[in-house]
Chain A
Amino acid sequence: MRSPSTISATTVVRGNIGGDGSLEILGRVEGNVTMTGQVVVAADAAVRGNVSATEIQVTGSIAGNLSASDILMLNPGARVVGDLAGARIGIAEGALVRGLVRTEGEPPLAKPAGVSVARPAVTAAKPAVAPRAAFAAPAARPAPAALPRPSLPKASLSATAHERPVMHEPPPDSSPASEPEHPAPAKHEMPKHDRLADGPPPPVVPSIKGQVKAKKKFRGR
Chain B
Amino acid sequence: MAGTVIGEELTIEGEITSDEEVVIQGTVRGSLSSTDTIQILSGAVVEADVTAASLSVAGAVTGNVTATDRVDLQAGGRLIGDVRSARLTIADGASFKGNVDMDV
Q: Pick the residue among A6, A13, A23, A31 that contacts B3 (CB under 8 A).
A: A6
B32 to chain A, nearest CB (A): 10
Note all chain A residues with C-beta closer than 8 A to B14: 13-17, 31
Quick one: closest B residue to A15, CB to CB? B14
A21–B9 CB distance below 8 A: yes
Complex Cα distance, B8 from A1, in Å, reads: 9
A1-37 vs B: 1/0 string, CB under 8 Å? 1111111111111111111110100010001000000
Complex Cα distance, B87 from A102, in Å, reads: 56
Most buried by B among A5, A12, A20: A5
Given A5-B26, A8-B20, A10-B20: A19 in contact with B15 (beta carbons within 8 A):
no
B94 interface residue, CB < 8 Å from A?
A: no
A11–B10 CB distance below 8 A: no
B4 to chain A, nearest CB (A): 4
B53 interface residue, CB < 8 Å from A?
A: no
Q: Pick the residue among B9, B13, B18, B19 that contacts A20 (CB under 8 A).
A: B9
Note all chain A residues with C-beta closer than 8 A to B10: 5, 17-21, 23
B93 interface residue, CB < 8 Å from A?
A: no
Interface of B (DSSP majority class): strand
B7 interface residue, CB < 8 Å from A?
A: yes
Complex Cα distance, B11 from A17, in Å, reads: 6
Q: Pick the residue among A5, A27, A31 that contacts B7 (CB under 8 A).
A: A5
Complex Cα distance, B19 from A9, in Å, reads: 9
Complex Cα distance, B18 from A27, in Å, reads: 9
A42 to chain B, nearest CB (A): 13
| Number of A-B residue pairs with CB-CB distance less than 8 Å in the complex they form | 82
B25 interface residue, CB < 8 Å from A?
A: yes
B18–A10 CB distance below 8 A: yes
B20 to chain A, nearest CB (A): 5
Note all chain B residues with C-beta closer than 8 A to A10: 3, 18-20
Tally of contact residues, A, Cβ under 8 A:
24
Quick one: closest A residue to B6, CB to CB? A5
Complex Cα distance, B17 from A14, in Å, reads: 8
Most buried by A among B9, B17, B18: B9
B15–A2 CB distance below 8 A: no
Quick one: closest B residue to A22, CB to CB? B7
B86 interface residue, CB < 8 Å from A?
A: no
Note all chain B residues with C-beta closer than 8 A to A31: 14
Complex Cα distance, B5 from A74, in Å, reads: 24
Most buried by A among B4, B20, B22: B4
Residues 24 to 66 of chain B near chain A (Cβ within 8 Å): 25-26, 30
Q: Which residues of A contact B (CB under 8 A)?
A: 1-21, 23, 27, 31
Provide a sorted-by-A list of 24 A–B residue pairs whose CB atoms are within 8 angstroms. A1-B7, A5-B10, A5-B26, A8-B18, A9-B3, A9-B20, A10-B18, A11-B3, A11-B17, A13-B12, A14-B14, A14-B16, A15-B13, A15-B15, A15-B30, A16-B13, A17-B12, A18-B10, A18-B13, A19-B11, A21-B7, A21-B10, A27-B18, A31-B14
Q: Which residues of B contact A (CB under 8 A)?
A: 1-20, 22, 25-26, 30
